[in-house]
Amino acid sequence: MQQLIARRETALKTIRIACVQGGDYWTTKQRLAAGGGEFYNGQLYTVTAYERFVRKHPHLIVSLDAQQYAYDEGQSYYRGVPRPLASRLVPQRISEWLRSRQIIRELERFEATHLVVRCNDLVGCELLRWAIRRKISTAGIMASRFGREHRLSRKFCEFANSPNVALMANHNPWPRPA
């Protein structure tokens, strides 16, 4: 029994949770901690619940669409990865792929053992592909629409059905035809 408990404690110590999401988590967390208002109903609850969920483990949050930043607080790591500038010289698909590579380098530098994906399209597909190759336990929480005619939606759903993806939730259903 002691060996089982020791093994479980060792396993818990080695958990390193990474989350990649839209928005700007660091700025939101700071605003709410200072008594600022919510931008949407339940935002304080969401941030508080997530902080409770990861508090015992090293964790990284990569915020998409935020300014470039890197803040560390003890075992908490926050990174901002802005959307690449629109350019006629570099197609959006290529710039999004390059941004995916930048995010994956952050995940590898952090040595993530668990991943929470809160984005889809090209970035989400690349994150899932990376997690599948490395057999990283993954969960996803979405608020997206997935159309069968959209190639990246189909690819994302295919990746989301991989054995290492423990949970994929979406609270934005596709509207039914009238």
The full set of domain ranges for the chain reads: 14-170
Residue 11 has pLDDT above 70, yes or no: no
Q: What is the mean pLDDT of residues 110-133?
A: 93
Beta strands 69-73; 76-81: pairing state: antiparallel
Higher pLDDT, 173 or 162: 162
Q: What is the mean pLDDT of residues 133-159?
A: 81
CATH, domain range 14-170: 3.40.50.2000
**Contact between 118 and 21 (Cβ < 8 Å):** yes
pTM: 0.83
Higher pLDDT, 165 or 148: 165
Helix (H) or strand (E) holding 111: none
Give the pLDDT confidence score for residue 36 in this predicted structure.
92
d(CA 178, CA 175): 9
Average pLDDT over the chain, rounded to an integer: 85
Lowest mean pLDDT among 33-42, 68-77, 153-162: 153-162
**Contact between 170 and 144 (Cβ < 8 Å):** yes
Residue 172 has pLDDT above 80, yes or no: no
Higher pLDDT, 5 or 96: 96
Rounded to 5 degrees, what are φ and ψ at 113? -105, -20
Give the pLDDT confidence score for residue 57 in this predicted structure.
94
Higher pLDDT, 85 or 48: 48
Residue 143 has pLDDT above 90, yes or no: no
The DSSP result for 140-156, as a single string, is EEE-----TT-HHHHHH
